[in-house]
């Protein structure tokens, strides 16, 4: 199995996406985005910055022509309606081309279910936003030996809701594996853990009907990655990049992460 995934890895893009979470303001976000863009020019690496909603316009303006793409951190499951404080997919037109859905913090703090995430995924498909679908297990689930079953169940429930709503899995889907127990806790996952989960994720996608195309779905690692830890994950052929949290707010950290991702992209191109 490992050989099959490794052979397919060359066809998958290498992606580094920065999730700024609830940080920056419209006054400083554009400058930071421009500095990151200037410091991260590695060939073959898809770069995405996901700032807060209120900073999208400033960041999009600062990144115009840089090759760095813009993503939103979330989207509502409905197109329009009486949902105070929410932002829908059509509102993101012209501001973002990517969107994170199902982030572990949204699941934890806003109680987002797999079914709700499935409906958000459908909105991304309808309005041309490339989705980064987040999945991941809690520490208790990993310690109980249920990590792969938990993540597989999340994927299956999300895809079932997508199917129920009349949608089909987007060809440009990206999945981010977030071991929740390794985010902001000081604990770290191993590259081999992430690679095993990436294989499990692709197996679920294949069982859901993606078949041969499952090997082409990029899987990112999203567990408090830094320039010091990224090497272990990108050394795994089954891992195609990272969803970077706090480190994405630091120019030197992003420069180091993207530089390492550039080596991975160059290796896949040979």
Domains plus CATH for the chain? 2-269 (3.20.20.70)
pLDDT at residue 186, rounded to an integer: 76
pLDDT, one tens digit per residue, over 171-197 is 899 999 999 988 877 777 899 999 999
Give catalytic status of residue 76 as yes or no.
Answer: no
- Average per-residue pLDDT for the chain: 93
pLDDT at residue 169, rounded to an integer: 85
pLDDT at residue 9, rounded to an integer: 76
Identify the CA nearest to 103 among candidates 48, 43, 176, 157: 176
Give catalytic status of residue 57 as yes or no.
Answer: no
pLDDT at residue 5, rounded to an integer: 42
Rg of the chain on CA atoms, in Å: 17
Catalytic entry in 5, 76, 103, 112? 103
pLDDT, one tens digit per residue, over 22-47 is 999 999 999 999 999 999 999 999 99
pLDDT at residue 3, rounded to an integer: 38
Helix (H, G, I), strand (E, B) or coil at 265: helix
pLDDT at residue 211, rounded to an integer: 63
- What the block records as the tokens of 147 is 């990590």
Q: Which residues of the chain have pLDDT under 70?
A: 1-8, 10, 211-212
Calculate the dihedral angle through the C-alpha atoms of 75, 79, 81, 84, rounding to the nearest 10 degrees: 10
Catalytic entry in 178, 232, 236, 253? 178
Please answer whether residues 48 and 16 qualify as being in contact, where contact means their C-beta atoms are separated by less than 8 angstroms.
yes
pLDDT, one tens digit per residue, over 98-123 is 999 999 999 999 999 999 999 999 99
11's CB contacts (< 8 A; 6+ apart) are 216
């Amino acid at each position: 199995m490992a050989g099959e995934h490794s052979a397919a890895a060359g066809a998958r893009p290498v992606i580094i996406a920065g999730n700024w979470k609830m940080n920056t303001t419209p006054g400083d976000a554009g400058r930071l985005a421009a500095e990151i863009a200037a410091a991260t020019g590695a060939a073959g690496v898809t770069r995405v910055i996901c700032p807060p909603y209120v900073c999208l316009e400033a960041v999009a303006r600062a990144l115009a022509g840089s090759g760095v793409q813009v993503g939103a951190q979330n989207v509502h499951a409905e197109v329009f309606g009486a949902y105070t404080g929410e932002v829908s997919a059509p509102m993101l037109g012209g501001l973002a081309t990517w969107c994170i859905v199902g982030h572990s913090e949204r699941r934890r703090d806003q109680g987002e279910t797999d079914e709700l995430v499935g409906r958000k995924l459908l909105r991304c498909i309808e309005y041309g936003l490339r989705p980064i679908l987040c999945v991941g297990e809690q520490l208790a689930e990993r310690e109980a030996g249920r990590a792969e079953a938990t993540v597989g169940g999340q994927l299956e429930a999300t895809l079932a809701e997508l199917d129920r709503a009349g949608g089909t899995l987007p060809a440009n889907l990206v999945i981010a594996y977030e071991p929740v127990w390794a985010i902001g806790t000081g604990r770290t996952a191993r590259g081999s853990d992430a690679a095993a989960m990436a294989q499990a994720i692709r197996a679920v996608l294949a069982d859901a009907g993606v078949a041969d195309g499952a090997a082409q779905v990029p899987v990112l690692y999203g567990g408090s990655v830094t320039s010091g830890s990224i090497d272990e994950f990108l050394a795994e052929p089954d891992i195609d990049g990272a969803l970077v949290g706090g480190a994405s707010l630091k120019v030197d950290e992003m420069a180091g992460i993207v530089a390492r991702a550039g080596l991975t992209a160059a290796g896949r191109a040979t």
